[in-house]
Structure 1
């Protein structure tokens, strides 16, 4: 009887030890699950890996196989880490990976069990945590709102088995990811085209009521306890809930306060509190149509609006305060962050009147639009019938101000008026000089046989006629006065001829006793 019990205990011990599948890897003796000494399972037994040819590409493959982000993978050779030496078998040596393999046994290596090293050369890696426990994602879909369901446990992504998988479970996944739950569709293993996962299977027997906020809140078998393989991995398809760039405030007692969430590709996600300030809160309030003057910001631990679930889309947001939407601020690439949901930000916006408007002037028309910037936003756009117009008592025919119209008219009319004035002055001046010259030089004939006329050319020219004999003398020639004497054979009218030849330097009063024409 004792012998039977002994044999049974040996078999049970073997069964308990033989808990892994050939090709699985794990990290041992690290302070966090994403770092440690590399061990690989062969025929149900865990063993170590020698450091010959161990490099960055090898570390990337280990991190990928475990579900971690491969970008920050770090490799360590035997003497270069503090994760201790293994014991038992050394299964791999001379491992050479290209970096794109999905498991360590897919790389080149010596035959299993062949090596020329001891445990002082056991390798190790450190991987960047790819996720936080409880997060879910949809993998291998053609759009972000559909795909194979994967859940994160201790920084590692794994799949979910299809036992008891139904519509309520799909609703919870969609809600956790920020999608609309009404259009949720569920798929069991053989019923979708999103492929099979690799690595761990974390959940099985999931039973949700449909109102839970995360998949781990549903009933399920203990984590990692399952009776399936990856051919039964589940999938969902969710309806888009929003448009990229939208923001909303969640879990507040009034619509103007709450945890900040932003929409990316139809999915609602949260914002990390690194560099979150009042300027960022002002932008959120402005985008939602609230007054920015009373905006108040809250970082993760400083508010009572709860932590979000699903994606964290923004981190290190830096706003100047004058932007019109949160995506216009500086921030890390969408989806890049170094935080969890305990650092989700929140804001409180003022319900006071709009931001200061300019004081009305006698040329201002003010439009007041209900449900615009003075009131909390509604789910539907404002009705045109809610627009009221307030005007200062003046006559206006368009939205342009009177000052603007006057400025335009002045720019056109004033130059025309000035041009007309200049033309008028020039005309008056010419007329004045014309009559002045006529007064000076145009006289009636002194006698029936002698006449004087004048014309304006380069100089005033006098046409003097003596009994049908014409002579032309310019004004400048009068400096050699007297004029030629009247021929003696001409009969004088009895006056002094010399008087007719006197004149001043301006050619005025050529004949002292001439009669004005």
Structure 2
């Protein structure tokens, strides 16, 4: 690799060193060493003609993929922690997130038992321009050149081999033009896979008559995600403690070292096809155990869970319990308590026609989702959905615990016109207040979580946007003034950037216990008698 990587290196103390020193370094090269090819092995960097291994802290699969791409080694297949007997360069992984030269990336440190990063890349196949590591336009490498593949030279058995080679599940979609047109040359062979090969280039092939692909014929592929996420110990597959499959073993997910909120837990529910989140909380075990960590900032970017699992495992006593709604959800809304209603039956989601749904039905849905009472109920409120229509009219009494517990009758066919798929806005539960002031519209901001009122703190960004949301959600007009008040009591922590959107503030609360000092006192302009 002839690219020169300019970086700044900080000598960092791990607690085993007595001093810190800042220095500037030049790293001349990167490589994967000790694997079966140049595209697999321990990640190493070269400095002053010496190769050193890279520390594995804070890396996930998505970031490891950037190494594979920079080395022209296709896509990442696997990434592991590997214990070594040498000191390691600590590479801050965000440096590899763009095509530009990394900067301010490396930290060299000494410790007793460092662990390094081992990466296995696909080498000869890759998917580009997709929405995840398991989707994109297919390209194949031969003689150091990447080529697109024509749809007519590729079938389902070929797709099964590619998905397996990339560490993904089975192919769900493959078609020409699925992920745009390819600018690469066209692969000049027709693949003849049997479906059980370990690599696409192990398959038989014959010469193709094509010199170019017609517009829309460069094959794109979507593989399913491997089954490596689950909830265990709950009443259904959609409730329990979160576990991920890492290095071939199921491990619980740590809730202590990563800031989990309702909003990030909801990503887990949606990706597991379990509806919307109802509850997320930490559970304390009796003993420290080896656990996995998930980068919740990565989850918020809509990446799939597998790509956000931190490669290096940790030890903790706090696990994460999530309860999802399973059979109902609200989509395309501005919060977890608003959106177009969808109901799941036989693993398929359906929208509900406005005429088949009334206020009593809406009360059941809002309560099932952990929200307050319904405030708005209207067809087309949150746009049209492409989901099929639910073919039964709900007949809830209003006191049922779940929508599918309600009675119902067959709906008249083809009676739902465009714009009539029902949307719901549920109110927020009475779990936020201003306490200790002269009226209900001024005082210390407190929120109620799991039955307990605590002051709220936020140390990540300025309060301005959140204060406006507080006054608005309390129906107290706009913010007039704010100040801080110090406390040594337990508090709830708000997380950035959740509160910068229209999300309800409860969705932004970190589920862990915190003890902070500076809480917020708010005065709103609203009439306290309202």
Task: Establish whether TM, by shorter chain, passes 0.5.
Answer: no
Going by fraction, where is strand more abundant, 1 or 2?
2
Higher RCO structure (Cα 8 Å, ≥6 apart): 2
Q: TM-score, normalised by structure 1?
A: 0.34
Q: TM-score, normalised by structure 2?
A: 0.33
